Structure 1
């Protein structure tokens, strides 16, 4: 009897191992800590897929442990990476149109950002992604602000002469127009750059400001408030060929999980700005406010620098910009 029982247990173990071996594992890369909203978005998709029991597993490699932040789009497009949560403008070198997803003053607020994600503008960008064998699973924009090591930054003249980190080409162009010196780096590198004196000012998402504990290195923070100059599209992307290779059941599960993650992303993104301001204030950092007049001064500068350069450099740039501006 015992030998029969042992054989049955061994058979079940072998069956379970066989089932596990047959499961498809997808690798998802991102640059943030597991406390960051973008990791949470990825985790929701992974958890929902796991719970559905469709022989699909998503393994998350966070904190830039698999690829460097700016080096994820190319392996994704080549099928060397299955999924990533990525600021799309990081891939502006491969597809210059992506620089429009981090254009100063183009997005008014989070609900406007959601409308942009569901518009002909985004359809045009997704067509360009498809050329690279890339597709969007979860749309999402995050707002952000400015932080200064020694002073507050609310208007263009505040950055004059400061070594400043800007996320993306368009912001760099605008800040250069305000006579700032530009230092290019991923948001994960801001802390060390400020600590070592390489950097005096930075702008990035509210979430990254908190996730990377920038409040330990600055004296003043200008969060996204009633007006937010800084909005950045940061979707969860997938290699399209990999997606097409999944079973219909696995695809549907992945899409359903992504819908849930996208709803979470929008609601949590709205909370990030006020939450970041409180965390910085609690850490003793001065909180500054950008006025509507400050915003318009920045936007005027952006139109003359970033917008104009985008249209000049991207063959269908004016068409794409018009599509974005058409979204009310």
Structure 2
């Protein structure tokens, strides 16, 4: 018997005696795990946790729950929403940054937590560019300037004129320090060159109550909590902060066209995973996310929350995070803002 035949018989005998030997072949060989694929059984084999870094009931929570059920069906495993509020969104966001990169922990990302907090809070504890694998965008929501009906100003230009006529006398309500409403108010002060008094509230609810009650006359906030009052005419929208008019409010001018050229402040919502999550997992979630966001049902639910559906690739979401973090961190440094 030749040496070559002896070697082949020895290998065949080893394969019979050691059934696990075939599974030990290198990943780049046929039958092994391909590059970017999660090891072990096909993902997912158990429920996936979607962490929302804010309490239940807010805009972030609503966005997460809109996609969670549909994503569950698409992935074949339940996507469980886990609200972990605290620290201005830092606690839950930091938990995802430190989670195992196996695809079983996701984050509902939001402009405030991802693009504002890392520079605003010294103790944020995460880097938006290094600690996450962006999956994709799902919605955009412009910040709006709301006013009590008794406020005489009808446009952004009117608000600026009133503020300049009475420095420090006009109070502008916002949600908590670091949120989209608060940062928009700071950007407004800096861009318009006005002296106004900002009144940050612990939550959107208390702010809306004081605005409807006339305790503050104007406020920056998101649209969803104000829709009922807008329809009842107990509040009105002075301007939207997006570059283009918002589909839900086509008659309301933008800040850019009504007195503050170039002004823009919009919130983006998306899904992220811990850095190092297998690209195949990221790609699978992105495909499912884009499909469901483009569906009529999910689009309708997003619009009901005051947003507009928005899809992207992981790379496009990463670029969006980079642009927004660059913009807001520059404002934080210029004004010396601190969230701690």
TM-score where L is the length of structure 2: 0.49
Match among 214, 238, 252 for residue 222 of structure 1: 238
Identify the residue that residue 39 of structure 2 maps to in structure 1.
none
Match among 242, 255, 258 for residue 286 of structure 2: 255
Identify the residue that residue 47 of structure 1 maps to in structure 2.
69
Kept in 2: contact 1:29–1:83 (CA 8 A): yes
Q: How does 1:2-21 map to 2 (within 5 A)?
A: none
The Cα shift of 1:129 comes to: 2.4
The Cα shift of 1:26 comes to: 0.7
Identify the residue that residue 97 of structure 2 maps to in structure 1.
77
Identify the residue that residue 28 of structure 1 maps to in structure 2.
51
**Is 2:337 aligned against 1:313?**
no
* 3-state secondary structure, aligned to 2:254: coil
Identify the residue that residue 222 of structure 2 maps to in structure 1.
205
Q: How does 1:113-262 map to 2 (within 5 A)?
A: 129-149=128-148, 150-151=150-151, 152-154=153-155, 155=157, 156-159=160-163, 161-166=169-174, 167-175=181-189, 177-185=193-201, 186-194=203-211, 199-210=216-227, 218-224=234-240, 225=245, 227-229=253-255, 231-241=265-275, 244=277, 248=280, 251-262=282-293
How many angstroms apart in 1 are the aligned matches of 2:234 and 2:88? 25
Match among 66, 77, 102 for residue 84 of structure 2: 66
How many angstroms apart in 2 are the aligned matches of 1:234 and 1:30? 15
* 3-state secondary structure, aligned to 1:82: strand
Kept in 1: contact 2:134–2:271 (CA 8 A): yes
* 3-state secondary structure, aligned to 2:285: helix
Which digits, 9 at most, give the CA deviation of each residue in 1:74-130, with x for residues without a partner? 33333397312423367524146xxxxxxxxxxxxxxxxxxxxxxxxxxxxxxx623
Distance 1:79 1:227, change over 3 A: farther
How many angstroms apart in 2 are the aligned matches of 1:130 and 1:309? 13
Which digits, 9 at most, give the CA deviation of each residue in 1:170-213, with x for residues without a partner? 531423632210123453442244367663321223234227x5
Structure 1 portions without partners, runs of 5+: 1-20, 97-127, 277-306, 315-328
Match among 71, 92, 97 for residue 116 of structure 2: 92
Larger Cα Rg: Structure 1 or Structure 2?
2
Which digits, 9 at most, give the CA deviation of each residue in 1:265-308, with x for residues without a partner? 996699679x89xxxxxxxxxxxxxxxxxxxxxxxxxxxxxx89
How many angstroms apart in 2 are the aligned matches of 1:157 and 1:270? 35
How many angstroms apart in 2 are the aligned matches of 1:234 and 1:178? 27
Structure 2 portions without partners, runs of 5+: 1-43, 121-126, 175-180, 246-251, 256-263, 308-326, 335-340
How many angstroms apart in 1 are the aligned matches of 2:207 and 2:331? 30
Distance 1:261 1:67, change over 3 A: farther
How many pairs were matched up?
Answer: 223
Distance 1:264 1:89, change over 3 A: farther
Distance 1:89 1:264, change over 3 A: farther
* 3-state secondary structure, aligned to 2:69: helix
TM-score where L is the length of structure 1: 0.51
The Cα shift of 1:254 comes to: 1.6
How many angstroms apart in 2 are the aligned matches of 1:206 and 1:32? 19
* 3-state secondary structure, aligned to 1:131: coil
* 3-state secondary structure, aligned to 1:209: helix
- Cα-Cα RMSD: 4.6
Identify the residue that residue 12 of structure 1 maps to in structure 2.
none
Kept in 1: contact 2:141–2:222 (CA 8 A): yes
* 3-state secondary structure, aligned to 1:138: strand
Identify the residue that residue 14 of structure 2 maps to in structure 1.
none
